[in-house]
Every structure is written in C-alpha cells, then in structure tokens.
Chain A
Amino acid sequence: MARTRNPRAPGLFQPSIPRRTFDRKILGRVAVNEERRFLEGLYSFNAERETYERPETLDPEQVRRLKTIAAAVRHNRGVLQPAKLALLGMIAAAIVVFVLFFADALIERAATRGLESLFQARVEFSDLRVRPLQPGFGFNSLQVADRNRPYRNLFELGRAEVRLDLGQLLRGKLVVRNIEAQEIRWNTRRESSGALPPERLTDPREPEAPGLELPDLRELAIERFAEIDPEEFVRAHFEQLTTPAHLSELAEELEAAGERYRSEIPRLERTARSAADHGQEAAALRPAELRSVDAIRDAYRTVERAYSEIDTAVAEVRTLHREAEQDVERYRTEIEAVGDLVAADLAYVRGLVPEIDLTDRSAIAALVLPELYDPLHDRYRQIRTIWDAVDRLRTRERPADPTARRSGRTIVFPARDYPRVLLEQLSFSVGGREARDLHELRVEAISSQPELVENPSRVQFTRFDGPRTVTASGVLDMRGETAPRDSGNGAAQERLRLATSMEGFAFELGGRSGIVSFDQAEGNYDLSADLQFARSGVPTGTVRLGLEELELAVPDDDRIATLAREIFYSVPRVTVDFELRPEGRLRAGSNLDRPFREQLAGYLSERRVALQQRIAAELDARLAAELQRREEQLAELNAFREQAEGYLAQVRLHRAEVADLRDRLERRTAELEEEAERRVREAAEQARREAEERARREAERQIDRALDRFR
C-alpha cells in the first residue's frame, strides 16, 4: 500500500510564529489583500504566547497557496537584488583578473599600434610591464624604425619608466607626465625590416621630400669636370644638336632620290635603245640611191618618224639628266652648308660645359660641402620624420561630429584642459658634466593640441664625451595651428628653431674622386648652426664649420690638390660659413676663399678648355662619319647623273644622224625636183617649138592654100 504523504508547508510558515515576525516579515510583505486575508484566516493570534498559530495539518490547497505566498514574501524582501549584484561582482572581479594578467600585453599592443601610426614604421617594445600603482608602465627597450630606411631605427630607448596621469586617462586623455629613460641611441641598425605592411599604414602619404635643396652649393662642386666623359657628354646631348637632325633629314632625301633614280635607269636604257634602233633604221636608207620621188617621200616619212621618236627620247633623257643635275647640285650645296651647322653645334656643345664662376662663391665651401651635406641631410631627414610624427599626432584630432543627440547648452567651467595626447617630459641623463662624460636628452610638451599647452615643444640634447661636445636645442612651436595640415591652412606658420653646436670632433677621410683628391685628410672640426625650419620650404639660418690641425696627403701629380693643401696650411683655422636665405638661396663663405679662388681660377680655365676640346673632337668625329655617309649617297646620285648624261649624248647623236639623213633626203628631193623641172621645162620648150613649127607649117599651108585660092 502506497504511503500517502501530507504536503509540508514552507518553512516560513511554521505552526507558531511570533507576532512581530508575522506582522513585519510576513504580513507586511504580502501585497495582495486576498492573500493577506487568507493568512489572517489561517493563523489565529494567541495572546498569551504573543504568537500567531495555525493548525498542525493543512490541506493541499492551503499548502500550495502558502508556497505561493512564501515565494512572494521572499521576493518582496529588501530593495536590492543580491543575486544580480553578486553576478555583477563576479564579472567585475573577472575583468580585474583579466586586466591584471593581460594588462601588459594589452598596453604593449596599444602603445605599439599608437606609436606605429605616428611614425608609420614598426615599433617594438621589450618586456613591457604595467605599474598600476605608479601609475604607468616600464619597458626594457623600445625600437622605433625609420620609415624612410627600414633597416635602421630612428631611435632606440633603453630601460625606461613611463608615468601616466590616471585622472586624465579616465577622461580618455593620454597625458604622459614623464618618461625616464636610461639609454637612448639614434640611427641604429635593425636586423629585420621596419617597414609596416601597407594595410597598417594609416598615413599613405609618401614621406615628404626633404626641403634641404641647395642648388647653388651643388653647382660649386668642382669635381664635376672630372665626372664629365666627353663621349658620354656628346651622346647625351647629340639629340639636341642641329647637325645630326639635318644630316638625318638629308640622308632620307638622298635615299629617296637614289631610290627614284635607280628605278629610272631601266627606262633610260630602253629609251636609249629605242632611239638607237630608230637611228639604225634611218641610217639604213641611202638617199643617193633613191630615184623616185615616191621612194624619197617614203624614206622621208621614215626618217621623220625616227627623228620624232629620238627627239622625244632626247627630251625625256634630258629632263631626267637635268633633274639629277639639279639634285646633285642642291645636295652638294647642302652638304657643303653642313660645315656651318657643325661649327654652330660645336659652339653650342662647348657652351654646355659648365663654367665654374668662382666670383662671389666659396670654393672652400664647395670642397667641404660633399662631406658636410650628407650627414646634415641625414640629421635633417630624421628631424623631419619626428616632426611628421608630431604633426600626425596633431592631425588626428577631429572635431566632434555633430549628432542629433538630445543636448542642451554646455556650460564651460574653468579647468585645466589637456590635449588628447601629451608628453610632458621625456628625460634621459647618464654621467656628469664634471667627468666630461654626459649624455642628456630632455623633450618637453609634445602634444596633439599644442594650443592647449602653455609652452612650445622643446628638445634639449647634450653630450660630453671626453673632448667632444654636442649640444642641440630645438623649439617646435605649433601653437595656434588648429587646422590640420591637410587643409593647407596655417601650416606655413609652423616653425622649428634648432640651435646646435659640435666641438672637439676629429675627422679622417680617405681619398675621393674629383678634381681635388686628397689621399687622406685628417683634422679636428667644430660646427655650430642656428636654423629655422618652416613646414614647407628650405630651412633658413646659419651654419659655421671650423677646421683645425689639418693633415692633408695629396697625390704627387695632382696639381689642384697640392694647391689646395698649400692654401689650407696657410692659416691655423679654416672657417666656412653658410647662410640659408628664405628664398632658398645659399651664401657660403670662407676665410680662404680669396686666395683659393685666385689660384684655382687659372687651373679651372685650363681644364675647361681641355674638356671643351675633347668634347669638340668627339663631336667632330661623330659628325664626320655622318658626313662621309652623305657624301657616299651623293656620289651614287652623281653616278646616275653621269649615266644620264651618257645616254643623253647618245640619243643626241642619234638625233643628229637622223637629222643629217633627213637633210640629205631633202637635198635629194630638191635635186630630183630640179631634174624633173628641168625635164618638164625642156619638154615644154620642145612642145612649144614643135607647136610653133606646126603652126608655122599650118600657117604656111594656109597661106599657100590662100594663095592658091587667090591665085
């Protein structure tokens, strides 16, 4: 038999409940009057015990209802939802744990991506650790690659500590209070390429071409003479000359004329042969043997036809001959005129040889410039790369998009407003001034909104290394530049002022090719510069280079190097001053300019003339070969002319012979006509005489007859 089990009431509804508990914790939490009345009906108040009591046994319906009420009572207890709060707490704890475990990687990734987008090259941190209490982070090393030279680092920081402003970080602003680095190195070598893959290049603009173009100084580089190869020089400028074009045109015309005349030769031969045939045909006639007028008349017609044919041939051949003659004459004239063109071209090519005008220019500056230019240009390019990165930081500021979000008026309260990104200070210092072993760098106020920062960005660099000293200080003032660079507004006002000096440095150079070739050059140098860089255009300012204790080894046979050495040795210190002017012109001067100029001018003049002669000879040789080819073409044309002349003489001879035959026929005709006339006249005379005789006889007969009759 199955055992039936009485349903149990919820634990909340004990058979006996203290009055206070029943009123406050049960009845007070029942919101529906029906349920409340049900409980009040179920429980009765025991005044003695101050409790509410119910029957021990309940029917199932009462139990079900009590369960429902118990659930509602439990739900209506308290204001907070502990389960959800506990869940929230667990989620928050999980986030904290996640951040603690992965914060290093997350910050490293964020910092890497941020710096990569600024420098547009790979950035690599080593052993980055978050310091939550500082707050900030530290790392063992940081390498920032050079976008323009992927296998070099723009700079490399050693162990460093970065201190952030947590308050500003909560506002979404990255304010770096300080970066303390223990080592910094510039332009170091990389094992792998530092170029970013194209998809990670956020700024696809090509790095701007450095504005440090110094055309005037480049022109002063006197070794250009030695770099000029006459053959190459002529080849490079050949297309610009008049003579080759003229000769080429002449060649085409001669070729066309030769082709034409070559095609006329068979016709000439046929014409001449035909004329000869006609001549022979006519020559076969023997006028003296012709006895009858008809025969002569036939012969005359034959001769006349032959003459006509030959005369046509003569005209044809003469026309060709005349054309050939005129062509030969014309082309000969043109070939003879090439001489003048060649002379003009030679003069032109000679003029192309650069003339080094040493007047008002510093030859000493030109000598040192090739050595000075590249290192300075490298430094300048590095400055521009960092400047671009700072600028990129600024240009990423975007005004807030106007949205349709509900908002009122914004009341601005006085507060220190920080830029979105600010590096207040980066400092690095090793060693001390007293020990002459100091390496110090200080960077201040690099920000994404310079106008929010009181001071302009500054860089101060000092390095003492024994006798060598390098100091540099730069001020980059981008304040007031609210417009992004792309807009083209205001960028021209950006200025970087850089003052730098280097002292106590020694140099040692090997020989270099050029008009001045020192086998070896040694000495000490110092350099000071005060430059202003505009965002666009060339820098302006001054650079002074000093050279001392020079030791120059020159080849024995190098006149100019010897000359230069003597001049360098004539003073204890050589100074070279460069002044970069706003319009891009550069003035250079040295304390050795005048003596060096005087000595050098004569030598350079000789070299220039010699070079001009070599170039002229090279050009002359090339043009002479071309001319020779034209002469050969003209000779071929002339040969045709002579051939035509021969044919002309031949057909003219035939025509003369036929003409002579025709004359003879005419004379023979005249003779025969004369003979016939004579015979006719004689026959007429005879007839007349016979008629007269007959008439006389008739008359005599008539007379006789009359006489007879009369008689």
Chain B
Amino acid sequence: MFVNAVARVVAALNSNRRPGEIAAGVSCAVLLALVPAGNLIWIVLFAALFFVKVNLSVALLTLAVLTPIAPLADPLLDAVGYRVLTAAPLQGLFIAWYNVPIAPLTGFNDTLVTGGVLGGVALWLPVYFAVRAFVQVYRNTLRARLAELPPVRWFTRLPLVQRLTGWLRWANGFYARVR
C-alpha cells in the first residue's frame, strides 16, 4: 500500500500537472497535521481537500507521514494558541465567536487547535512556494538525472509501478474523455 502511494506520488511528480497542485497538497497536509483532529475545523479542512484541485495522493501521503510527528510541535503550538486566545485585544472577538452556536464545535478555544491553525496557515505559503519550486526544479533538471540513476531505473521497471503508471495514464485519458 505504501509502495502504491509512493508510486502515485512519483507519477504525480512526473505527470503534466501543475506544480501548484502538488505544493497545495503538501501545504494542506502540513496544516491538517498541525491541527488536532476531531473538531469542525479539521473536518472542514479535510473535506475541502476533495473539492479543490490539490493532489490528493501527495496530500494524504504527506498527512500520513506528518501526523505521527506533529505532536513534537505541540509545545510550540500550545504556547502560540494560548498567547493568541488570551490576548486581551482579541477577547471580544473570541467571546463573540464562542457564543456563535456552531463555533464551539470548531474547538477553537483549544490552544492546540488555534495554535495548529495559525501555525498551519503561517506555513502554508512558504511550504507551497518551496514545494512548487522543488517540483519545477525536479521536472526541469532533476528528473532526467534521477531517471538515469540505477535505483530509479530499477524502480520504474517494477511491474507494479509500470502497471500503475499505465493505469493512471488510462484513468487520466478516461477522465478527460468523460469531461
């Protein structure tokens, strides 16, 4: 399954897709990993992944990789969230939010949620641009060099990868025809 996911990511990197799609997938995954699950914010963000053009494979794989290590950032996120939630100038805003019927379901009054959202949002653009630049560099220069490396050649010759690549190609064609 992991090989499958990695193959999808490799296929995405090498396909004719905008680098921004992949970059947005990674940025969204960072945001989702930093925000604790089980609240409305996380659910909405996760659901939004399916309705915008981000690369789902990249996003889900990145999320799966980052989620176990995200708690390492909890002390920092908790401190950020606490400072923001207890900042005197924002109290009126938060009190108003808190009294909005649906707002408590977002769990915004949890320091980790707020810290995670702020951290994720703050990291979103830097991560986006960095990943997008990396994809462009990869496609322009690294791909050709990497393709010549023995391990990569071995990997691309794997029957599973070839089948998957063929299947993805067919699926893309089918999708394009349907649209």
Chain B residues, CB < 8 A from A467: none
Chain A residues, CB < 8 A from B140: 33
Say how far A633's CB is from chain B's closest CB, in angstroms.
90
A410 pairs with B110, CB closer than 8 A = yes
Question: Assuming the A-B contacts A31-B139, A71-B172, A406-B37, are A80 and B101 also in contact, with contact meaning beta carbons closer than 8 angstroms in the complex?
Answer: no
Say how far B92's CB is from chain A's closest CB, in angstroms.
10
Chain A residues, CB < 8 A from B172: 71, 75
A413 pairs with B139, CB closer than 8 A = no
A284 is an interface residue with CB less than 8 A from chain B: no
Chain A residues, CB < 8 A from B176: 67, 70-71, 74-75
B89 is an interface residue with CB less than 8 A from chain A: no
A415 pairs with B74, CB closer than 8 A = no
B81 pairs with A408, CB closer than 8 A = yes
Question: Assuming the A-B contacts A81-B52, A88-B51, A171-B104, are A408 and B16 also in contact, with contact meaning beta carbons closer than 8 angstroms in the complex?
Answer: no
Give 1 or 0 for each of A65-94: 1 = CB within 8 Å of chain B CB: 001111110111011110111001000000
B16 pairs with A32, CB closer than 8 A = yes
Chain A residues, CB < 8 A from B30: none
Chain A residues, CB < 8 A from B104: 171
Question: Which of B58-66, B111-119, B121-129, B149-157 is found at the contact surface with chain A?
Answer: B111-119
Question: Assuming the A-B contacts A74-B176, A170-B101, A413-B94, are A408 and B17 also in contact, with contact meaning beta carbons closer than 8 angstroms in the complex?
Answer: no
B16 pairs with A406, CB closer than 8 A = no
Say how far A266's CB is from chain B's closest CB, in angstroms.
100
A215 is an interface residue with CB less than 8 A from chain B: no
**Which residues of chain B in 74-114 are interfacial with respect to chain A, using CB atoms and an 8 Å cutoff?**
74, 77-78, 81-82, 85-86, 91, 94-95, 98-99, 101-102, 104-105, 109-113
A196 vs B32: C-alpha distance in the bound complex, in angstroms?
47
A383 is an interface residue with CB less than 8 A from chain B: no
A392 vs B88: C-alpha distance in the bound complex, in angstroms?
42
B98 pairs with A79, CB closer than 8 A = no
Closest to A29 in B: B18
A415 vs B37: C-alpha distance in the bound complex, in angstroms?
24
A81 pairs with B101, CB closer than 8 A = no
B111 pairs with A409, CB closer than 8 A = yes
Say how far B115's CB is from chain A's closest CB, in angstroms.
7
* Interface residue ranges, A against B (CB under 8 Å): 29-33, 35, 67-72, 74-76, 78-81, 83-85, 88, 166-168, 170-171, 405-416
A407 vs B98: C-alpha distance in the bound complex, in angstroms?
18
Question: Assuming the A-B contacts A74-B179, A406-B36, are A80 and B53 also in contact, with contact meaning beta carbons closer than 8 angstroms in the complex?
Answer: yes
Chain A residues, CB < 8 A from B53: 75-76, 78-81
- Tell me how many residues of B have a C-beta within 8 Å of chain A: 44
Say how far A172's CB is from chain B's closest CB, in angstroms.
8
Say how far A289's CB is from chain B's closest CB, in angstroms.
137
Chain A residues, CB < 8 A from B86: 411
A405 pairs with B101, CB closer than 8 A = no
Chain B residues, CB < 8 A from A85: 51
A74 vs B175: C-alpha distance in the bound complex, in angstroms?
10
**Which residues of chain B in 17-67 are interfacial with respect to chain A, using CB atoms and an 8 Å cutoff?**
17-19, 21, 36-38, 50-53
A68 pairs with B52, CB closer than 8 A = no
A29 vs B18: C-alpha distance in the bound complex, in angstroms?
7
A411 pairs with B99, CB closer than 8 A = no
B36 pairs with A405, CB closer than 8 A = yes
Closest to B82 in A: A409
Max chain A CB contacts within 10 Å: which of B38, B51, B71? B51
Chain B residues, CB < 8 A from A35: 16
Say how far B43's CB is from chain A's closest CB, in angstroms.
14
B16 pairs with A413, CB closer than 8 A = no
A70 vs B172: C-alpha distance in the bound complex, in angstroms?
11
A414 pairs with B51, CB closer than 8 A = no
Closest to B39 in A: A407
The one of A31, A78, A410, A415 that contacts B16, using a Cβ cutoff of 8 Å: A31
Say how far A387's CB is from chain B's closest CB, in angstroms.
32
B166 is an interface residue with CB less than 8 A from chain A: no
Could you write out 14 A-B pairs with CB less than 8 Å apart?
A31-B16, A32-B16, A69-B16, A71-B175, A76-B21, A81-B53, A84-B50, A405-B38, A407-B110, A408-B82, A408-B115, A410-B111, A413-B91, A413-B94
Max chain A CB contacts within 10 Å: which of B37, B101, B111? B101
The one of A32, A76, A412, A415 that contacts B99, using a Cβ cutoff of 8 Å: A415
* Interface residue ranges, B against A (CB under 8 Å): 15-19, 21, 36-38, 50-53, 70-71, 74, 77-78, 81-82, 85-86, 91, 94-95, 98-99, 101-102, 104-105, 109-113, 115, 139-140, 172-173, 175-176, 179
Chain B residues, CB < 8 A from A409: 78, 81-82, 110-112
Chain A residues, CB < 8 A from B99: 413, 415-416
The one of B19, B105, B112, B139 that contacts A171, using a Cβ cutoff of 8 Å: B105
Chain B residues, CB < 8 A from A168: 101
Closest to A166 in B: B101
A74 vs B105: C-alpha distance in the bound complex, in angstroms?
38
Chain A residues, CB < 8 A from B91: 413
Chain A residues, CB < 8 A from B81: 408-409
Closest to A77 in B: B53
B78 pairs with A171, CB closer than 8 A = no
Say how far B72's CB is from chain A's closest CB, in angstroms.
12
Chain B residues, CB < 8 A from A32: 16, 139
Closest to B71 in A: A406
B101 pairs with A413, CB closer than 8 A = no
Chain B residues, CB < 8 A from A171: 101-102, 104-105
A31 pairs with B36, CB closer than 8 A = no
A411 pairs with B82, CB closer than 8 A = yes
Contacts A74-B179, A408-B77, A411-B94 known; 4 new A-B pairs at CB < 8 A: A68-B173, A72-B15, A79-B52, A408-B112
Say how far B157's CB is from chain A's closest CB, in angstroms.
21
B51 pairs with A411, CB closer than 8 A = no
A31 pairs with B17, CB closer than 8 A = yes
B18 pairs with A76, CB closer than 8 A = yes
Chain A residues, CB < 8 A from B115: 408
B111 pairs with A415, CB closer than 8 A = no
The one of A29, A30, A74, A406 that contacts B74, using a Cβ cutoff of 8 Å: A406
Max chain B CB contacts within 10 Å: which of A406, A410, A412? A406
A167 vs B103: C-alpha distance in the bound complex, in angstroms?
10
Chain A residues, CB < 8 A from B105: 170-171
Say how far A445's CB is from chain B's closest CB, in angstroms.
21
Chain B residues, CB < 8 A from A80: 51-53
A79 vs B51: C-alpha distance in the bound complex, in angstroms?
9
B110 pairs with A408, CB closer than 8 A = yes
Closest to A416 in B: B99
Chain A residues, CB < 8 A from B173: 68, 71
A415 pairs with B17, CB closer than 8 A = no
Say how far B122's CB is from chain A's closest CB, in angstroms.
17
Chain A residues, CB < 8 A from B50: 81, 84
Closest to A408 in B: B112
B102 pairs with A170, CB closer than 8 A = yes
Question: Assuming the A-B contacts A70-B176, A71-B172, A406-B74, are A411 and B109 also in contact, with contact meaning beta carbons closer than 8 angstroms in the complex?
Answer: yes
Say how far A76's CB is from chain B's closest CB, in angstroms.
5
A622 vs B39: C-alpha distance in the bound complex, in angstroms?
84
A33 pairs with B101, CB closer than 8 A = no
A411 pairs with B111, CB closer than 8 A = yes
A216 vs B156: C-alpha distance in the bound complex, in angstroms?
97
Closest to B111 in A: A408
Chain A residues, CB < 8 A from B37: 405-406
A217 vs B104: C-alpha distance in the bound complex, in angstroms?
57
Closest to A10 in B: B176
